[in-house]
Structure 1
Amino acid sequence: MKNFNLIIGLLFIITVAISCNMTPEFKEFKSEAGRFSINAPGDMKEQTQDVPSAAGNLKMVTHTADLGNRAFLVSYNDYPEDVNSIGAQELLDEVQKGAVGGIGGTITSEKNIEMNGNPGKEYVANIVIPKGGGDGVAKSHIYLVKNRLYQVLVIAKKSEANSSDVDKFLNSFKITAN
C-alpha cells in the first residue's frame, strides 16, 4: 500500500511538472531594426522575404515563436513615403483583407484601434490550419506608423484561441522609436 501511495504521489508531481512546462515562459523580445518590443513565449526566429504589393515588392521581416499548437508572429515592412496619401484606414483594410484571404479565412470580428496616436486594426478570423491542423483562429493587431506597417498575429487551434497567452502577446507590442 505504501508503494501504491508513493507511485500515485510521484505521478501527481510529474503531472503538475508537465502542466507547468506547457505554459510558455514569456520574455521581452526587442528588434532594433524593427523598432519594436514584445513579450514573446520563447525565442523568436527571424525570416525575411520579398512580398509583391500594389506599391511594388516590399521587404517583409517576420519574427516567429512556434509552439506547435500556436504560432506567435510579428512582421513589419516599409511602404514608400507617399503611402499616407492612400489613407491609413484604407491601407489597413486592404492589408487585413489580403492577410485573411491569403490563408483562406473568414473574419468573425474586427474593429479600429490605435497605439500612441497611430491607426490600427484588430481582427479575429476563422481559418483552416495547413497540413491537417484542423480548425483554427487567427487573432491580429495591425498598425501603420508613418510608412511602416506592423502585423502582430497569433494563429492557434480553436481550442487554444482564447488562451490568456494570446492576448498577453498581442497587448504587449510596443513601438520603441519612430
Structure 2
Amino acid sequence: MNSIYILSSLLLTGWTWDTFRSIEGAFEIRTPAPMEHTVQQITTDLGDIDFHTYYLPVEREDRGNFFFQVSFYESEALRIPPDSLQLLADFFDATIEQAALSVSGEVVILDEISYQDKYPGRFWRIHYNGGRSVIKTKAYLVKDRYYSVQVAVDADFSLDGDIDRFMNSFKLLGLNN
C-alpha cells in the first residue's frame, strides 16, 4: 500500500527528487533539480563575509512558482557560546527582522528550533506581496556558520508537501563536535 502511495505521489508532482550535495557548504538536501550557486561579498558589522546562495526556481502551471534556496556564511563573530541566550536571541531577532524588511513583509509564525538538538535555530514564515506570497525559513547557527533553508511560494501553494520535503531533508555533512 505504501509503495502505491509513494508512486502516485511521484506521478502527481512530476518532479524527480534527488540529493543535492555542496562540499563547500558542507550540506546536502533533496531537490527536484540541481541548484545554482552564487557568492556575494558583503560588508557587515562583522566584517567582510562571503554570502553563499544555492537556489532553484521552479515554475509549474498547476502548482505555482517555487523558489528553493539554501544560504550560508561564516564568521568567527558567530561563535556565540550556547549559554549566551540573549546574544542568540538578539542575533536571530535581527536576522528575522531584516528578512521581513527585505520583502516588505510580515512575520506571522516564529518558533525556536534546533539542529540535532544541539545547534540553535529558528523557523519563521513571512507573508509579503500583499499576502499573495510566502517565505518559509529554517535557520541555524552551527559553530561559526549561519545556514538558512528557504522556500518562497505563491500563498495558494504554501502548504504544499514539497516545501516540507525540501526543508526537512537538510543535512549537514562532517559535523564533528
Give TM-score scaled by structure 1 length: 0.80
Distance 1:102 1:22, change over 3 A: same
Deviation at 1:177, TM superposition (A): 2.1
- Aligned 8 A contact 1:47 1:61 in 2: yes
CA contact (8 A) 2:19 2:29 kept: yes
Residue type of the alignment partner of 1:138 = I
**Aligned AA (2:119):** N
Aligned residue type for 1:47: T
Which deviates more, 151-160 or 22-31?
Answer: 22-31
Is 2:36 the counterpart of 1:45? yes
Aligned match of 2:24: 33
Amino acid at match of 1:31: S
Residue 71 of structure 2 corresponds to which residue in structure 1?
Answer: 75
Which secondary structure does the structure 1 equivalent of 2:93 belong to?
Answer: helix
Q: Is the 8 A contact 1:92 1:143 kept in 2?
A: no
Shift of 1:81: 4.3
Deviation of 1:90 (Å) = 2.1
User: How far does the alpha carbon of each residue in 1:10-64 deviate from its partner, in whole angstroms, 9 at most, with x for none?
Assistant: xxxxxxxxx9475322110111111111101211000110223221221111111
Structure 1: distance between partners of 2:56 and 2:78: 33
Show the counterpart of 1:171. Answer: 168
Q: 1:52 to 1:105 in 2, by over 3 A?
A: farther
Go from structure 1 to structure 2 and tell me whether the alpha carbon gap of 1:82 and 1:65 turns closer, same or farther (over 3 Å shift): closer
Structure whose residues are more often helix by fraction: 1
* Amino acid in structure 1 at the alignment position of 2:99: A
Any gaps of 5 or more consecutive residues in structure 1?
A: 1-18
Moved over 6 A (4+): none
Q: How many residues are paired up? A: 156
Aligned-pair CA distance for 1:93:
1.9
- Aligned partner of 2:149 in structure 1 is 152
What per-residue deviation string (whole Å, max 9, x for no partner) do you get for residues 102-136 of structure 1? 1111001010000121000000110129xxxx820
- What is the percent sequence identity of the aligned residues? 24
TM-score between both structures, scaled by the size of structure 2: 0.81
Aligned CA-pair RMSD: 2.1
Give the aligned partner of residue 127 of structure 1: 128
Q: 1:82 to 1:95 in 2, by over 3 A?
A: closer
Aligned to 2:136: 139
